[in-house]
A and B are shown apart, each in its own frame.
Chain A
Amino acid sequence: MTVAAVDDLQRVCVKIYAPEPDFDDQLYVPIFHDWVRERVFDDLILFDVADYAHVPESPGIVLVAHEAHFALDRSDGRFGLLIQRRVSGEGDSVESLACLIRHGLEVARRLEQDGRVEGKIAFDTSTLRIEANDRLRAPNTDDGYRGFEPIVRAAVERAFGGAEITLARVANDARDRLAAEVRITASVAS
């Protein structure tokens, strides 16, 4: 079994989906630059904005932090905020993932509330895609999923304050990241 190996899982991604917005991706550029300048998050070291909007089904516009990339991503064919951990976080695998989810929710909330796109973008925080971005510790196999699933469940419960969740493995190319889709059906707090 791979459970022991997945104890060290730090390299993870979270995607929060949203309906495709009806405005140009370039609108995110000034928003993210302003966030970097104003240091809007206490616990994230923001320092760059990357632009891949010219590439189809790409990470699009990316807010780069020391801790993670925050991308307005379409790589799986659906629009959403993809949060990819860059460096190891504090705590074990569960805490690291829970922390990344919280960061993702905070960035999504702040984006929704930015005056330049307010009312034009709405993230669905009741469904998350969570990916293991580490083919060594969490390969995209049945065994890999068995080791990954309890971490995802515990992290989501922690991030959503004891939510009721349903979890399903995403059927994808064996070479893609191991992924789970999480539905949050009820939440005590977020």
Chain B
Amino acid sequence: MDALLSARAAAAYHEESAMSNTARTWKDALGSRLPAAIAEEIDQYENQMELRKQGKLGEKVFAELRLRRGAYGQRYDNGHRYDGSKTQEIPFPRRGLTKGPDTEFDAPGMQRIKIPFGKMSAEQLEVLADCAEEYSNSILHVTTRQDIQLHFVDIEDTPDMHRRLGAVGITTREACGNSVRNVTGCPLAGVCRSEEFDISPLASAEFRFLLGHPDVQDFGRKFKIAYSGCAGEGCGRAMLHDLGFIAARRVVEGEEQLGFRVVVGGGLGPVPHVAKELYDFMPLKDMLPVSQAIARVYARLGEKKNRAKARIKFLVARLGIEEFRRLVDAELETLEPDPRWQQWLDEGERDAREWSAQAATRGDVRPAPGFDDWAATNVYEQRQSGYVAATVNLPLGDVTSRQARRLADIMRKYSNEALRTTVDQNFLLRWVHRQDLVGLYNDLCEANLVLSGAGTITDVTSCPGTDTCKLGIASSRGLGAELRARLEAKGLQFDETLKHVNVKVSGCNNSCGQHHIADIGFYGSSRNCGSYKVPHFLMILGGALEDNAGNYGLAIGAIPSKRAPESVDRLLDLYSAERQEDEGFRSWVMRVGKKAIKEKLADLMQVPAYEEDKSFYVDWHDSREYSIGDIGVGECAGEVVSLTQFSLASAESKAFDASIMVDNPAASEAQVQEASQLAYEAMVLAAQGLLKVTNPDTKGDPASVFEAFERQFIDTGAFFERYVGNQEWPYFQAAHGAGGESRDRDESRRRVEEAQLFIEASHACYARLLQAQSGFGGSPVVAAGLGV
């Protein structure tokens, strides 16, 4: 592979080395390679860090400043870690010096790096590899939004990292925080057989135009934009974005026009929304002003105080799409023409340009073993005759620094450096000459980058989960790795029936693993069993990638983490046995019904007693007991527990029935309303269950439950914990205020999602009550009169 190292790359490195003979800092070494404006931004950030260390800059302000540079927090950065039996303090050297509220300065963090529409050059990949090696642990992680993430990064290293990335045209600016995040696009754009046209230049222009734009600096939350080349496929996933552009054509007076269908207000997260159509067609030249107008409306009218309601999807839902469109149209009228609109479009054309590679081999080399399997799943025939795109399948989105450098060589040799990160957490090499396919495979083999099964059932998507994410509830990567290994061992990536089923795993309900759009989705949850906590995953069925990921699945129930692989096996067996000719997985789910499927998985939802099988009380690829297992529960409490658990189980059952009803496309208006009522009743039941902890005779009429719950759990703060309760309580309030009714199908569907979340929060609250009764309780519980 060394032979592949191009003269150009070697020269660049030697040049850098020569510079460093005299330079003592990256700032000096990079000098003019870093554009002045970017250099100044990074210098400012470094100064802000220094001021924070001196106590001259508040922790909240610094937190937002570093987030806007993509420097994120990471698990355990509050300086505490649960070790399986108790929570221990991590004695970081500068304990008490923080980089944000409850965030230790010395704790490692995550660096998110924007890769607009996934396009990167060989040199950029090499610098990313260097940064991963020097500042992280030599692992580059590709995300579901085509970013690269590095973990375990010391914040003191981030300014130099930003300089090195900036010198090769990569920015981390606004990768996190309340800003416009990475602009994503179909990885196949420009070579796709079914696209209307190449969206790459437009995505590039959008990214450049909005980066640091004054109109996008005052959002209440983040803002995600996606570009899709066609309406039918799922690669662009426009429907789950705050703002989506779907390529379209129309003929006006005999002349064909290119443009986009514009959709707005989509999003996953705890309460997923499918985007609404804002314009059925918008000419290309109007894309940037439309984006700017939407941003201005969102900045002006979007929620700023309640983070849980601050995404644009809530604004669109609140106003209605017609009123939102009226506001955007009015905003467009007020915009002064900006010469940059055309300038960015022109530069986008230049940025996105790729061209066909000359053949690098004569096509007469013998393939290394495994070529046929790999070619069957990882190679895509480009629409340009004689060229293919090849997916480098990365397990859980991870690649090492050394592999990345070898890939950079391969890019130079075979694809004229045409590479994209994909929303499935892989790399896509484009413009590979068909004649070179065997040579490419052989070189990828040397780099250990020839995992077959790209885009199939074995290509499991997973967010970081409890490995590194502060919000993770269960080990999504642990489950993802386990599922991959088991499905690969069965060779299902080559099974004609099952290979098209896709699996996605999130560590919590925030949906970074995009579980809602999977055939089989999971998100992490915690359940109580006796006095122990057990890691679970909510199983989501019925999502779909097609139609720009415009169909979301709904939960059918919680599966103990350790039984999740078995549940997948059983689902696949059922599907194989029951499917009708050419019936896809989602169609099978919709035909058979989630209720029937759930019944067939019922035994897998049970958790054996702790004494019977302790392995259920430990998450995947971990050895710590998941629950605070040494906390006991008295006999009296045990009786009360059963009443509460009964109510929570009934609530889940009602929420499930509601989900079945609202998920039925043929549901009548009356059934849609009934689903909404059921969801509300589920919330009442969950609240009643919590009230039963102190009063087993709590009455069940909604008004009494609501009033008592507000007094006992809300006014006292007992329902709230750091990340739980603040958004779920308003769901109950809204449902109660509406008497359980919903305006339309969308709202009914959201109410069902919200009921599930309220039940989850009730489970969490109940767990805290149990802790309190065992003598480890927090003050809100005692304040609520619930302490023992």
Contact = CB atoms under 8 A, between A and B. Distances in A.
Interface of A: 1-2, 5, 8, 11, 26, 29-30, 33-34, 36-37, 45, 47-48, 50-59, 62, 64, 66, 69, 71, 75-76, 84, 86-87, 133-137, 139-141, 143-144, 173-177
Interface string B112-154: 0000000000000010011001100111000000000001101
B16 A139 contact: yes
Given A51-B477, A66-B106, A29 B17 contact: no
A87 B154 contact: yes
B106 A33 contact: no
A140 to B, nearest CB: 7
A136 B23 contact: yes
B622 A29 contact: yes
Given A5-B20, A37-B88, A177-B133, A50 B93 contact: no
A45 B90 contact: yes
Contact of B130 (A84, A86, A135): A135
Contact of A50 (B17, B91, B467): B467
B92 interface: yes
B139 A58 contact: yes
A139 B17 contact: yes
B477 A141 contact: no
Contacts of B152: 48, 50, 64, 69, 86
Given A36-B83, A51-B467, A86-B154, 7 more contacts: A45-B92, A54-B395, A54-B485, A64-B108, A66-B93, A75-B400, A133-B134
Nearest to A137: B20
Interface stretch (B5-13, B52-60, B221-229, B545-553): B5-13
A64 B25 CA distance: 27
Contacts of B624: 33, 37
Contacts of A176: 402, 405
A131 to B, nearest CB: 9
24 contacts: A2-B21, A8-B24, A29-B623, A33-B623, A33-B624, A36-B83, A45-B93, A48-B81, A50-B152, A59-B137, A62-B137, A64-B108, A69-B137, A87-B156, A135-B16, A136-B26, A137-B20, A137-B24, A139-B20, A141-B17, A143-B17, A174-B10, A174-B13, A175-B129
Nearest to B399: A55
A37 to B, nearest CB: 4
A134 B134 contact: yes
A2 B23 CA distance: 10
Contact of B398 (A47, A55, A137): A55
A30 B83 CA distance: 11
Given A8-B24, A64-B152, A173 B76 contact: no
A5 B21 contact: yes
Contacts of B154: 86-87
Nearest to A144: B17
A5 B485 CA distance: 47
A47 B90 contact: yes
User: Which residue of B17, B83, B90 has the most chain A CB atoms within 10 A of its CB atom?
Assistant: B17
A175 B9 contact: yes
A135 B621 contact: no
A53 B395 CA distance: 10
A140 B485 CA distance: 37
B162 to A, nearest CB: 15
Contacts of A51: 467, 477-478, 481, 621
A83 B21 CA distance: 26
A185 B24 CA distance: 35
User: Which residue of A141, A144, A173 has the most chain B CB atoms within 10 A of its CB atom?
Assistant: A173
Given A47-B81, A58-B398, A177-B133, A136 B25 contact: yes
Nearest to A58: B400
B123 to A, nearest CB: 11
Nearest to A31: B623
Contacts of B622: 29, 33
Interface in B369-415: 395-396, 398-403, 405
A50 B76 CA distance: 13
A11 B134 contact: yes
Contacts of A134: 134
Given A135-B130, A177-B133, A33 B467 contact: no
Nearest to A131: B133
A125 B381 CA distance: 51
A116 B621 CA distance: 17
B93 A71 contact: no
Interface of B: 1-2, 5, 9-10, 13-14, 16-17, 20-21, 23-26, 29, 75-76, 81, 83-85, 88, 90-93, 106, 108, 126, 129-130, 133-134, 137-139, 151-152, 154, 156, 395-396, 398-403, 405, 448, 467-468, 477-478, 481, 484-485, 621-624
Contacts of B75: 48
A45 B108 CA distance: 13
Given A33-B624, A45-B90, A86-B108, A140 B83 contact: no
A143 B21 contact: yes
B134 A48 contact: no
Contacts of A29: 621-623
A45 B137 CA distance: 17
A175 B11 CA distance: 11
A54 B484 contact: yes
A5 B138 contact: no
B83 A33 contact: yes
A45 B84 contact: no
A186 B479 CA distance: 47
Given A56-B448, A57-B448, A136 B139 contact: no
Given A135-B130, A175-B405, A54 B398 contact: yes
Contacts of B448: 56-57
B16 A54 contact: no
Contacts of A144: 17
B745 to A, nearest CB: 41
Nearest to B451: A56
Contacts of B14: 141, 174
Nearest to A136: B20
Contacts of B10: 174
A50 B21 contact: no
A138 to B, nearest CB: 9
A175 B26 contact: no
Contacts of A26: 621
B76 A48 contact: yes
Contact of B400 (A30, A53, A57, A140): A57
A175 B152 CA distance: 22
B84 A37 contact: yes
A33 B621 CA distance: 11
Given A36-B83, A45-B92, A50-B152, A175 B13 contact: yes
B29 A136 contact: yes
A167 B23 CA distance: 27
Contact of A175 (B5, B21, B478): B5
Contacts of B396: 54-55
B137 A84 contact: yes
B623 A30 contact: yes
Contacts of A139: 13, 16-17, 20
A1 B20 CA distance: 11
A50 B402 contact: no
A77 to B, nearest CB: 9
Nearest to B25: A136
User: Which residue of A11, A26, A56, A175 has the most chain B CB atoms within 10 A of its CB atom?
Assistant: A175
B139 A36 contact: no
A136 to B, nearest CB: 5
B20 to A, nearest CB: 5
Contacts of A136: 20, 23-26, 29
Contacts of B478: 51
